[in-house]
Structure 1
């Protein structure tokens, strides 16, 4: 008989906030290198903590990692430099264990499946990605307000990209009565944005029009904010880059031009850990 039901490995506030929810539902939980768990003393007393990766991996059939599962091939642990390579974790896990995490590397997943270890990727689940996009959009708006002393109400606002996150972000900004323009190079995305009442701009014309915007949100994981565009950005503008891997802008040029630009990773964990944890916990419980 295993000592625990669930082991939570690193991650950010999203995974840390899962621990008390599991405990309240009767599961036995051990945490390894999680951020501080926000809960009452009575609940926290029922959560176990360990500094031993081996103990965490050996003591529970269900393993939960962060979103993403790894950074630079090491287990993602917010707030601490993790030197735990995924290969070390892979050597230590056991047949028939189940691993839940976000953005699980394909080679890790493939090796696990060969060993009859099940991997469940949070970010391959469509409802989960939509919940995540809501938290990202709301977090991006908060970041914008923290970095600029003007209202979003009636501001000229640009949303680059109209995928899951771009759609929700444009909707939330519209709800704050911003004057929203959607920019994309995808004809279907532009048509949908137009049908929903947004102004539209083709990506090829971004450099001509970017000077008109006060708030600029990028969701495209490619360097669309290049030197040509950045040279045209208004001195009064703020840019929030929420695309993955700091890939949305030429940051070296932005720094030289003294542009008010901010890369904003991990917004769901930063601002909506408890809400995200509820969705993640339900996802896990429905699959164990």
Structure 2
């Protein structure tokens, strides 16, 4: 296994800046390119990557076929610059993973780390509440809220909303989850069906990355009801449906609302990887 000394941190958002600081504090030699708030260490990302023992990509790592934040740098171009055995770290590697596997490039998808996924869900939930408070004309206390999706983010957000006094309807495709939803002091409903209706809600949070709202269902939402899209592409709205009047896209929320906390979570995930042990960091 290659000893990691120099780490190239490329692109992304404010999380990458704080992650660079954490890596530097751990005595790694950090070189950056395209990181908001930090100077470029070389004229190009390719030059930095060619001298690195590891490359740290953003979360998500790839957007529109290129490294997030670096639209001119494709995954194939990046790989062509890497020395043998250079490790690629990133969050949500997606289709890039198959290219890494074909080329035998060692990699670690940080979003596959269970501890990171749980912590990231909590940070995302807090950011979602901030967006709702900014958009709603009322408080969350005594508000009627619809939360679609019974995954990590849905469960975390449900608990936080209930703690603020909201009346939460939490949906799942599987009715077997309804008793658990009731144990969370939420009202269960079926994702995509909404037996209880939609016009009564003061806010809607979607965490399902698939169409779960038809055009007719979107039309049932009140004009002043914010729809906060927390899911990754394609989101929860059917392709033929118009966006709600108060549609709020919220991709990469941890990097926008709590980038320092999110960076610390990413750093811990890197330390949990087989390539960057905690003993090496210490």
Classify the secondary structure of the residue corresponding to 1:231: helix
Per-residue CA shift, 1:225-265, capped at 9, x if unaligned? Answer: 2112112112331111111114211476434xx62111111
1:218 and 1:31, CA in 2 relative to 1: closer, same or farther beyond 3 A? same
User: Where in structure 2 are there 5+ consecutive unaligned residues?
Assistant: 277-282
Alignment equivalent of 2:94, drawn from 77, 98, 105: 105
User: Where in structure 1 are there 5+ consecutive unaligned residues?
Assistant: 38-46
How many angstroms apart in 1 are the aligned matches of 2:11 and 2:44? Answer: 12
Question: Relative to total residues, which structure has the larger helix share, 1 or 2?
Answer: 1
Equivalent pairs, count: 273
Aligned to 2:178: 190
Aligned to 1:41: none
Does residue 175 of structure 1 match 2:163?
Answer: yes
Aligned to 2:253: 267
Classify the secondary structure of the residue corresponding to 2:217: helix
The TM-score, its normalising length taken from structure 1, stands at: 0.87
The TM-score, its normalising length taken from structure 2, stands at: 0.89
Does residue 88 of structure 1 match 2:83?
Answer: no
- More deviation, 241-250/177-186: 241-250
How many angstroms apart in 2 are the aligned matches of 1:204 and 1:144? Answer: 22
Aligned residues of 1:130 and 1:164 also touching (Cα < 8 A): yes
How many angstroms apart in 2 are the aligned matches of 1:246 and 1:165? Answer: 17
Per-residue CA shift, 1:62-98, capped at 9, x if unaligned? Answer: 1100011111211111xxx612111111211121111
Aligned to 2:57: 65
Aligned residues of 1:246 and 1:263 also touching (Cα < 8 A): no
Classify the secondary structure of the residue corresponding to 1:11: coil
Aligned residues of 1:31 and 1:56 also touching (Cα < 8 A): yes
1:147 and 1:58, CA in 2 relative to 1: closer, same or farther beyond 3 A? same
How do 1:216-235 residues align onto structure 2 when only pairs under 5 Å count? 216-235=204-223
Deviation at 1:284, TM superposition (A): 1.8
Aligned residues of 1:182 and 1:198 also touching (Cα < 8 A): yes
